[in-house]
Structure 1
Amino acid sequence: MPRRTLYVREEDQVIWEKAEALSDQESMSALVTEALRRFILAKEQAAGTSPYQRIELEITEINRNGMPYDRKVAFTGRELVDDGPLVVYETAKHRLLFYHEELQRYWIYRTIEQAIKSDEFPPTLLAAVADALGQEWVEEWDI
């Protein structure tokens, strides 16, 4: 695993300690990486070179009383596959968001492998997502 060493000025030590105390990341390395990811994304978006954009979706959820309600959500990502009514996005954090436009329902997975194991989506859609991610996917048969 590559290593990086950061030297912190004495006057910045308080900032680092506060960040570490407030962070929900498992390590300072993860916190710094997330900050760098956001920095790069902001710079690329400002320069118009980012493949990611702000995406808004309308979703339907069910409240505690079993009643459906609609709300709008937004995230930064890019469309990978539009297999209407299913659309698949890759988020800026490299998650996969599967969205059913008619049902206004969504599923989020960390990897394509998790989406495959969920058995929620047709193999043709999963193959198209893998292809859009530059991955080869072969359907595994348990026979």
Structure 2
Amino acid sequence: MTADTLDLAISAVLQRAADTIDDWDLCKGDYTDPIDGGFCTAGAIAHACALDASDWQDGHTPVYNDPDENTRWLARRAAALTALRALAGHVLPFTPPEDMSRRELIDLIALWNDDEDRTAEQVVEAMRAAASEVTA
């Protein structure tokens, strides 16, 4: 599957993100761990949408000189953001993720992800449960 043929349905994104953590493990304190491997929650969601973790940051799109690719990149980032909102709504049900900015969502999920007692299994389980809620 290429970035052009990715299923951007929110449930599919969350399932792929869960698979990413299953395959690579969970990291804390950063989007990815380039030495030991692993992804944080937001990093896994970005990866599931064929994005780089840096694509969460503000700035011009990395493909601003190609209108078609730019449109595809924006669609992938929108899907990642929607998946992040769905997960936040699942794991922090008393927090209104629909009213949060991208930065606020990432910070909130990072706090949840980086909890010292948080395990990869808990993150994977939460992602799969959120994916089921989206499709229900």
TM-score between both structures, scaled by the size of structure 1 = 0.22
Structure 1 or 2: larger strand share?
A: 1
Q: Highest CA radius of gyration, 1 or 2?
A: 1
Which one scores higher on RCO, CA 8 angstroms, separation ≥ 6? 2
Structure 1 or 2: larger helix share?
A: 2
TM-score between both structures, scaled by the size of structure 2 = 0.22
